[in-house]
Amino acid sequence: MAWPIVALWLAVVPQTWRTLVVPADEPRAEAVGPDPDRVLLLGSGKSAGFGVHTHELGLGGHLARELAALTKRGCSVDIVSDPTMSATDIGVVIGWARLDKFDALVLTLGGADTIRMRSLFAWRREVRALLDTIEEIGGGTLRSFILGIAPADGLLSLPAPLLRIVNVNIAYFNTMTERMCAERPGVTFVPVTPPAGSAFAPFESRTYKHWARELAPAVAAHLAHVAVPPPPGTAANQKSTAFDGSALRAKPVSTTLNEITHSARLLLNTNGAAITFHDEHAHWFTSTSGVADIERDEAGIFCSAAFTGLGLVVREDTFHDKSLSDHPWVVRGPRIRFYAGYPISASNGDAIGALCVFDTEPRTFDSSHESLLRELALRVESAIQHR
């Protein structure tokens, strides 16, 4: 009896989900690595990336990086999503999608169906039809994963009593879906939980990372794609091969590095970004974005920390860092208050450079930023090693 009231309220009162930003970039995320797995992320809500400006910080980007970390291979995630996509719509998309290109299928159901107040009977019928379509189109061999529906807190603007009714219905949807998945050996249901410290699951990067971490172990355990071993002697050859700086002069490489630098500045929302390399004599920049000329002989202490540490280096406020507070880049020039750098390695494992971002204001650098900077640094390595 409450559904007409809920439906009327949703139609009349402005809803939170309509005000959230969505990614405007290409619906694809990639983690660089050998023999990449391919995953199709399909559905509404969580797949769409509500609340973030780029898919790199949405579920697709975090899932690609989490899977690559588990499998030690590359991973690309293609994203097909629409806020209005129902379970029936997803079945239609699967009907024309080339599922043979993918190693795993990840579905996010329920966003549109929750808002449309779909009945439990209709939900059961449509999800069963969807699973039948997946088995038919995928030939019974494609491993599929269905991510549960998150509670509507923070997403729908409803009075508390009505919100409880919606959340109870979501719980029924999840229970019913989990039972249907349990009946099919090729489908795995993965429930969702709010990230640590949250009473609900807000649509933001840390939530997507949390969901990706819950989902990735199940996907990685069942991926049919097996890494192809390198030819005999490849590892030894790579280990003995030093970095050839001439690669940086190749136009395709320099163009790619410029694109990565520009992406780093935009994705991490900083004033500037740069890729810098070094040898025993000096540091030099191959690409900068958002900054004017920087004196290269002053690069030392900023860049060498990332070179020698072989890991992420972050200076959230250079004014409070004794080693940097009087540096020329801090007191004049670009006036850097925030710096983060991730090392770039040659094929023999030597640290030869760093991808860095910096800002004129102090900033907090969280784990999602680290994952993104690391991924961009790996793309630099791929560009110079596989030119």
- pTM value? 0.64
Q: What pLDDT is stored for residue 82 in this prediction?
A: 83
Residue 43: alpha-carbon gap to chain centroid: 16
Q: Nearest-5° angle of CA 375, CA 376, CA 377?
A: 90
What's the residue count for the chain?
Answer: 387
Task: State the CB neighbour count (10 A cutoff) for residue 92.
Answer: 13
Q: What pLDDT is stored for residue 174 in this prediction?
A: 92
How far CA 107 is from CA of 94, 113, 189, 220, 370, in Å, comes to 11, 14, 10, 16, 27
Distance CA 89, CA 104 (A): 19
Q: What pLDDT is stored for residue 181 in this prediction?
A: 93
Q: What pLDDT is stored for residue 230 in this prediction?
A: 41
Q: HSE of 199 in the Cβ direction (CA atoms, 13 Å)? A: 2
Look at the alpha carbons of 313, 316, 321, 326 in this order and tell me if their dihedral is positive or negative. positive
Q: How confident is the prediction along the chain (387 residues), in pLDDT tens digits per residue?
A: 556 666 666 666 666 666 778 888 889 888 877 778 889 999 987 898 888 888 999 999 999 999 988 888 888 899 998 877 888 888 888 888 778 788 899 999 876 666 666 778 888 999 999 999 988 887 667 789 999 988 877 666 667 777 787 888 889 999 999 999 999 988 999 998 888 767 677 788 889 999 999 999 999 987 744 333 444 444 434 443 455 566 666 677 788 888 898 888 888 889 888 888 775 554 555 677 776 555 554 555 566 655 555 578 888 888 888 777 777 778 776 788 888 888 887 776 677 888 888 888 998 887 678 878 888 888 888 888 765
Contact present, 340 and 369 (Cβ < 8 Å) = yes
Q: What pLDDT is stored for residue 224 in this prediction?
A: 45
